[in-house]
Structure 1
Amino acid sequence: MLMDKVKITQQYQRSVRIDTDLGRLDSLDGYICNKSAQNVFNNLCTQIINSEQRAFTLTGPYGSGKSSLAITLLSMLHPNEKIRNKAYTRIDKSIFPLFKNAFPITNGWNILPITGKRANVVQEINNSLDKKTKPNKKKEIKPTGADLIERLKVLSNSPSYDGLIIVIDEMGKFLEYSAQEENDIHFYQDLAEAASRSHGKLIVIGILHQAFRQYSSKLGNEIQNEWAKVQGRYADIPLISSSDETIELLSKAISISEDLKNDVNVNVAQIVADEVRKRRPSISAQLVESLIKCWPLHPTMATILGPASRRHFGQNERSIFGFLCSPEPHAFYDFLKSTKDSEDQTYTPEHYWNFLRTNLEPAILSSPDGHRWAQSVEAVERVEAGSDKLKVSLIKNIAILDFFRNSTGLPASNEVIKSIYQSNISNDLETLLNELKKSSVIVYRKHLESWAVFEGSDFDIDEEIKNELNNIFSLDYELLSKAAGIRPVVAKKTLLPNRLITLDGYISLFIRCIQREAKKFIPYYL
């Protein structure tokens, strides 16, 4: 089976916890500081150098590498020099000058990593401090927010460290608890203000999956406005990996045995890369190489997984790499278990359709994509009623490609569809597509040069426009001038010498202009 020849790199098989993984050298293994991560480092350091801002939020979708980036940042500030040096090897050297200016290091920083939960944030931060400073201390009366901030100020000024940095991963869980219990959230504001007045000795970073204020969306307008004020105390830094960065990470997560490398179809990767580049010229020059290394993920799927994880229904803790190892039906791991290594087969959009339909359909239907998904399901079910397996496969592939087209830049073009089936049905492909079109299941979008799931009535606007144009032999210029209702502007040089231009003159001039332009007119329709 393929699972004996294809492995998912161990590093990507587990989620990262900053409170337990920090301080372990192996937690830094394999970390890739891509362009998006570099931008985060540069943004953070620039604000620290040029302003008094010391409270930040790092916002990005699940699986975008926020926790791994946080561990790398904290390791670069760690009191243990060995850990610091290991972390330095994982980032781009161009970051060093800015980083050392923002974070002068002599003894290392006092680090307080916290993983959020549905609980009181003041109590949890205080508990983490107790474990760090007084591990055998008995629990006392719950501290107030003011008490905790005073305690943090004292620690930040300790001569044993260069400062105190607090990173709250899954900060959204604390915010959800505050919203649910309608707790006073001004502690977050007081904490941010204390950091800004600390002369660089106290830094606070919260890690979120969505904007701060969105956690208060179910509360009243007055409370939402209060949340917005608190959010304003934190400088938000987005972390959203580009599609080619995600593909590069996928290529490093999947490894195959040497005897399978000859099965990889380089031409297919080239076709997909060319189609993406037509619409996204700035895409990485190494895209083809990365797509090849993602085998047995079909190149189309390698481009889809990143954008799919950022959709509303994809915001779950499994992330992209969780999907690769998921035991759920029709997931990638299930595909590896059920596919023989002798079969010339890859994980295609058809497989992903089955995965989404089986495991995530309720979440999709309740998301902003619900209507489009329902239309796709209806189209697939209509084809399934005909019991033609090739047509069912074809409509599923088209449905997924069309569903994610706007975010991937990859259309369901004839070339892309051929790349999925390679030589299996290439001769019959045009016939099958036309049959699906006649059945009003799919439609060809000429302006996009791609197929899409049919969304509306049986009215074929392309065909009707073509028929109407064939019936037009000449233009009625008089009717056109009346319909336009435009009186042309005459230059003063013409107007002044002649003193007067009649209305008939306007119409005559307008018609002559139309006749001249009409001869050059080439109709274009969508």
Structure 2
Amino acid sequence: MTLANQYSISVRHQRSTRIDSDLSAEFFPGLVYHGTAQNALETLVRQYAQAGQSAYTLTGPYGSGKSTIALLLTGLLHFDREINNAARSVLNNESKKLVDSSLTVVKGWLQVRSVGGVNAPIDTFWNATLEALKEHPNTGLLFNQYSDLMPKSESELIEYWERLFNEIKDIVDGVLIIGDEMGKSLEFINKNKGELHLYQDLAEVLGRLDTPVLFLGLLHQSFSEYAKERGTKLQEEWAKIQGRYTDILYNVSTDETVSLIAKSIVPAKKTTTDQTAYVQLVLDALEDTKQRKTQLHDRLKNVAPLHPLVALILGPLSKRRFSQNERSTFGFLNSHEPSSFQLFLQNTVDKDARYALHDLWNYLETNLEHAILSSPDGHAWAEASEAINKVDVPEDTLNILKSIALINLFGKPAKLYATEAMLQAASGIEDSSELIEHLSILKDASSIIFRKHQSSWVIFEGSDIDLPSLLEEKIEQLSSSSEAIEHIAYSQQTMAKGHYHLTGSLRWVEQTLCQNLAMLDLERLTETKLGEFAHFVLLMEEANAQELIDKSKNYPNIAFAVASNADDITAYANEVYALNLIKADKEVGAAIQHDKVAQKEFDSRLSDAQKMLWSSIEEGFTTSFWTVRGIPSDRTYPLSELASELADHIYCDSPKILNELVNRNKISGTAVSARKKLLEAMLDFDDEESLDIEGFPPEKSMYISCLKNTNLHIDNGSEWEWSTDNIAPEFKKLFKFTSAYLKENAGEQINLATIEQMWAKPPFGISNGVFPILLLAYLKTLGQDIAYYEKALSGDFEFLAEPDIDYVHKLQKAPKELAIKFIVLEENDKQWLQQLAMYVSILTGQSTQTNLLSIATPLVTTMHSLPHWVRNASNLVDDDRMLNKKVLRLRDIFLQANDPHALLIQQLNDVLDPDSKLTEAEKIDGLEQCIAILRAAHGKMLSRMHSTVNQFIPEAGDLLLQMCQAVEKRSGDLRLKSFARELGRSSESESGWLESLIAVVAGRGMTNWNESNLLTAEQKISDFSQDFLRVYKASSQRNSDLTENTVLNTRSVSLVLENEDGKFVNFSKEIKAGDDAIISPIKKSLSKELDKLSEFEKIDVLRQLLQDALEAQG
């Protein structure tokens, strides 16, 4: 009868656990409740009961049994008493007491058991929710209500959950959400270039629900690892989001793996026991505590027909990268591959035979060597494999070499070393001399070498370079030097988790190594960086206790400790530094590089030394006694607790803003976009609820965290407004401090970068992410007491009537390009503003508030709305030079205004009352007069132009329209055509036709007019009118259809003169016949006067008069 008939593998260990289908009362009997499982369950339950933490992740390698623990928690909270009792039977008394005192199970918890896969997390979670409603006896009606719903977005899923969980508060004890294969959900999100809003919002919502809710996500690596293909920045963001969850590490120990193996191998007869000496031989060879040996004894007795050493090796082996923990262990036990355990059972009859280490080597070499070679163990495996394959020795000797190789590779975590006693236990050789003979054969073949410091044998590959001697020599040279410590490139941060959960602000402490206090640059360490606010300084040399107290008092953001394991750190640091010096040596380094064996040995030593160094440094930081702010500790503290205590003290007035999307110094591109939308909404919809943000986009969560929950944006009963009445004490301190600074510098421009720096420093520590939001909200609460400025291209700051879109965009990107001014008014200034406000109300026809901006804005707007030529004219009052100067100065101060305070209080008074003699009413009269002149200037100019046109073309109505159409049709001059077309619109009541006509005559648009080209245009109207009449006359003479009334009575007049140079000058104009009743008396009077002159004098007078008249007409 083979061993396959005597032993079998328990069914429960033949496949992995499914949380959505394996839950039953039959699942729990035989479940091994080992220390790792107990620690994970109790940590979750204890934190939920004591800290109210609702969101957890359970992180452990593939196949480590995480789903089994998730199902155990599910059973403990199940409404079915049979399942509940079966799950409770697994626990020990200690865990039962903790669960009973922390979790209420009367009606049972609603259990959402979701398994991640190829579908979107929204779908898998919602489908699991519906299954949970269907399963629980108290939620059937709600299933009918919610079964027709299907969330289309992450925010909608959160919204549905929030509504549902509140509805079931009274019919269940709580809600348990299990996210199995959560890594697949994260892979789905990463593959589709998504963000982790679902998991971020989930953690936030769970904390504010009245219904008890627990979320447990099962992972095999951290959030950030799933995003490693998308860059370090996104990895950091995902890591921060995981910070919202309490992560529980789940890593089964070697001895727990032995226990699991013992439970999974089931003998056909319960009375079957291991009668061999293998277990005792292994325990005798094992250098460990009596307690562990006693604990291992019964477990190892129950792993037969596995050799005890194989059972011990399988634990560390399963944790290698090429393996999958428990899943690999039980996969190995069930495997039928070549050299497998199952084939051993089927082919072995001897009941005392054991599946030994050399059998395990054969199995790994045959079935897993390709995976091992691509893993970090590949190098060591390749060396061992080469040594085994090249040596020509008897099979028994070769089996011992395979045992040595496996113990070298994987035995260290189980505290197994290839000592002679251990090899005797592995091989079952009773005579030690026989074992020594086998070892001698292997040693002579240069396959193994004896390591004295471990008293054990290791695989050997020869080299011409004696690296141990070189290393020892270098270390001796460093024994009295601190160089090694100085050259450690150690960089590690400790996050202030408690402070983060309390305030929402992520801060960390930099860990620093130093030989002694004298070598510290304390001033440099006090310089804070973004997020980094303090230092843990670990000293290698003893320091005077009082000196540490004094230093920590003077530098409260630095904590000091003398390393409890300074000797270990120094030793490993010396080894690492010595190895680097050896490699840097031109001769020795080059020799190592060209010696394959030496290079492998060097790399291995350096890697091991670095690992030990980092491990010892970490141990030093966690096991040393720290002196903080003058107080020496008498026990060790978790570094995160110390970091939080420092952060709470340094940033004692840090406001509470629980939003990881925005409350950080470097926010993601998505967060920048959301913050931009929020700032724009703060400008446009500040009187609307939620700033008119619909749904639950990222900016909505920012609004809730930064503005609504802080009471900065409140409902006053009729509308929403900005307020500081009911804000938290930390915000009151922040704003009070800022207001005091602004008032102290009232009337001066304050750069917003200055406020940003003030807020970022202790005791507030406002992050860059929330600064623009909080600052804009704060400025909004100050109302009209603040004037806004923006840097222009010239480099000067220019006044803004109010913040606009560009302003808030710069507030995000470059606060240094923005400024504000706090305005304080004297009593007489207030009275002057009251007078101005009354005038502005009359000017605009609207009620005007008595503040600088409300008054200055319409006045400035009035000036900027003046036509371009009026804004640049130099002569607006012809007959009063002083008044003209006053009007121009008043216009210019408004056009150039960049400071409402200076404009209304200083500059306006300087213009209206330079000698300070006028009453306020008289000054208002002067202002009204000047503005009236400015506003009337354009109309006055148009009126003058209109008169000029009428002088030459007085016709109107249909006659004028017919004339214009005729000229437009007949003229070949494009500008004359345009002149005629615009003149034809003169019957319109608006002045637009005249402005268009002037534009035609001036040859430029209205925005380019100035006094000079308007004067020219007025003169050119004569020319255009003459051409107009001439074309029309010619047209009317050729057109027999025109009536007598439409034929103009015009004549062409020419005057030819000889000038002083002897050249002839021709003056020619088209004139209309005048009114004889007017002309006749003047002609008689003129003739009478001319009769007094000689004939030549008479002609000369008439010549001069005619010449002057023709020249005056252009």
- Pairwise TM-score range, normalised by the shorter structure: 0.7 to 0.9
What is the distance in 2 between the residues matched to 1:448 and 1:456? 19
User: Cα gap change, 1:169/1:53 in structure 2, threshold over 3 Å: closer, same or farther?
Assistant: same
Mapped to 2, the partners of 1:47 and 1:328 lie a distance apart of 45
2:70 — aligned with what? 70
Tell me, what secondary structure is at the counterpart of 2:214? Answer: strand
* 1:126-525 equivalent positions in 2, closer than 5 A: 126-133=126-133, 143-157=152-166, 158=168, 159-199=170-210, 201-258=212-269, 261=272, 264-265=275-276, 267-276=277-286, 278-279=287-288, 283=292, 285-315=294-324, 318-339=327-348, 341-342=349-350, 344-383=352-391, 386=392, 388-423=394-429, 426-457=432-463
Distance apart, 1:300 and its partner CA: 0.4
The TM-score with structure 1 as length reference comes to 0.82
Moved more, 159-168 or 55-64: 55-64
CA 42–344 in structure 1, closer or farther in 2 if over 3 Å, else same? closer
Change in Cα spacing, 1:456 to 1:154, as seen in structure 2 (3 Å) is: farther
Structure 1's 201 and 343: CA in aligned 2 closer, same or farther, altered over 3 A? closer
Is the CA contact 1:9–1:254 (under 8 Å) kept in the aligned structure 2? yes
Whichever residue aligns with residue 201 of structure 1, its letter is P
Structure 1 position 127, deviation (Å): 2.2
Shift of 1:241: 2.0
Q: Is the contact between residue 280 and residue 409 of structure 1 (CA under 8 Å) also seen in structure 2?
A: no
Structure 2 vs 1, CA of residues 153 and 62 (structure 1 numbering), >3 Å: closer, same or farther?
Answer: same
Give, as a single letter, the amino acid of the residue that structure 1 aligns with 2:75: S
CA distance in 2 between partners of 1:426 and 1:343 (Å)? 24
Kindly state the Cα deviation for residue 392 of structure 1 after the two structures are TM-superposed.
2.1
Q: Conserved in 1, the CA contact under 8 Å of 2:64 and 2:327?
A: no
Gaps of 5+ in 2: 135-142, 471-476, 482-1114
Q: Give unpaired runs (5+ residues) of structure 1.
A: 466-481, 487-526
Change (3 A) 1:430 1:461: farther
CA distance in 1, matches of 2:150, 2:83: 36
Structure 1 residue aligned with 2:763: none
SS of 1:203's partner is strand
- Name 1:468's counterpart in structure 2: none
Cα deviations across residues 449-482 of structure 1 (Å, max 9, x unaligned)?
Answer: 11111144266889x99xxxxxxxxxxxxxxxx9
Instruction: Give the direction of change, closer, same or farther, for the CA distance of 1:239–1:377 in structure 2 (3 Å limit).
Output: same
Distance 1:63 1:273 in 2: 28
What is the CA-CA distance between 1:30 and the residue it aligns to?
A: 0.7
**How far 1:317 moved relative to its partner?**
7.8
Q: Which residue identity does 1:297 align to in structure 2?
A: L
Higher relative contact order (CA 8 A, sep 6+): 1
How far off its partner does 1:414 sit? 0.9
Question: Distance in 2 between the 1:183 and 1:257 partners?
Answer: 53
The aligned counterpart of 1:494 is: none
Equivalent AA in structure 2 for residue 249 of structure 1: L
Stretch moving more, 12-21 or 58-67: 58-67
| Structure-2 change in CA distance of 1:80 and 1:232 (3 Å) | same
Residue of structure 2 equivalent to 1:82: 82
Residue identity matched to 2:20: D
Contact 1:61 1:309 in 2 (8 A): no
Q: Name the aligned partner's letter for residue 408 of structure 1.
A: A
State the Cα deviation string for residues 344-368 of structure 1 (Å, max 9, x = none). Answer: 4211111111111122112211111
Task: Give the number of aligned pairs.
Answer: 464
SS in 2 for 1:21: coil
* Alignment partners' CA distance in 2, 1:35 and 1:485: 45
1:518 corresponds in structure 2 to none
The Cα of 1:199 is off from its aligned counterpart by 4.0
For residues 229 and 456 of structure 1, do their structure 2 counterparts lie closer, same or farther at Cα, with a shift above 3 Å needed? farther
CA distance in structure 2 between the aligned counterparts of 1:351 and 1:198, rounded to whole angstroms? 57
Q: More deviation in 343-352 or 397-406? A: 343-352
2:229 is paired with a residue of what secondary structure?
coil
Code of the aligned partner of 1:177: F
- For residue 89 of structure 1, report the CA deviation from its aligned partner: 0.9
Per-residue CA deviations over 1:404-425 (Å, capped at 9, x if unaligned) read 1221111111111111222377
Contact 1:16–1:67 (8 Å) recurs in 2: yes
Letter in 2 for 1:274: D
Question: In the alignment, is the contact (CA less than 8 A) between 1:52 and 1:200 conserved in 2?
Answer: no
**SS where residue 58 of structure 2 aligns?**
strand
Taking structure 2 as the reference length, the TM-score comes to 0.40
Contact 2:109 2:175 in 1 (8 A): yes
Structure 1 residues 216 and 26: alpha-carbon distance in aligned structure 2, compared to 1, 3 A threshold: same
Residue 55 of structure 1 contacts residue 235 of structure 1 at CA under 8 Å; is this kept in 2?
yes
Q: 1:309: Cα distance to partner?
A: 0.9
> In the superposition, relative to structure 1, how do residues 433 and 226 fare at CA in structure 2: closer, same or farther (>3 Å)?
same
Pairing 1:20-31 to 2, within 5 Å after superposition: 20-22=21-23, 24-31=24-31
After superposition, the C-alpha distances for 1:38-97 in whole angstroms (9 at most, x for unaligned) are 111221112112223111011122333211111111111001122112211111111123
SS in 2 for 1:191: helix
**2:19 corresponding residue in structure 1:** 18
Change (3 A) 1:213 1:11: same
**Deviation (angstroms), 1:156:** 2.2
The percentage of counterpart residues that share the same residue type is 37
Contact 1:32 1:91 (C-alpha < 8 Å) held by counterparts: no
Give the Cα–Cα distance (whole angstroms) in 1 for the partners of residues 442 and 296 of structure 2. Answer: 32
Provide the C-alpha distance between the structure 2 equivalents of 1:250 and 1:364, rounded to a whole number of angstroms.
Answer: 23
Structure 1 residues 308 and 298: CA distance shift in structure 2, 3 A: same
CA distance in 2, matches of 1:380, 1:432: 14
Structure 1 CA distance for aligned equivalents of residues 237 and 407 of structure 2:
42
Which stretch shows the higher mean deviation, 102-111 or 130-139? 130-139
Residues in 1 aligned to 2:90 and 2:268: alpha-carbon distance in whole angstroms:
27
CA distance in 2, matches of 1:146, 1:110: 21
1:189 Cα deviation after fit? 0.9
Shift of 1:337: 1.6
- Aligned-partner Cα distance in 2 for 1:243–1:107: 39
Cα distance change on mapping 1:39 and 1:138 into 2, 3 Å: closer
What secondary structure is seen at the aligned counterpart in 1 of 2:218?
Answer: strand
The CA distance in 1 between the partners of 2:411 and 2:315, in whole Å, is 12
Query: Which residue type is aligned with residue 287 of structure 1?
Result: L
What amino acid sits opposite 1:84 in the alignment? Answer: N
> Which has the greater radius of gyration?
2
Helix, strand or coil at the partner of 1:31: coil
- Is the CA contact 1:79–1:107 (under 8 Å) kept in the aligned structure 2? yes
The CA RMSD measured in Å over matched residues stands at: 2.8
Distance 1:403 1:281, change over 3 A: farther
Which SS does the other structure have where 1:444 is aligned? strand
- 2:115 alignment partner in structure 1: 115
Letter paired with 1:415 = A
Change (3 A) 1:389 1:140: same
The residue type equivalent to 1:128 in the other structure is A
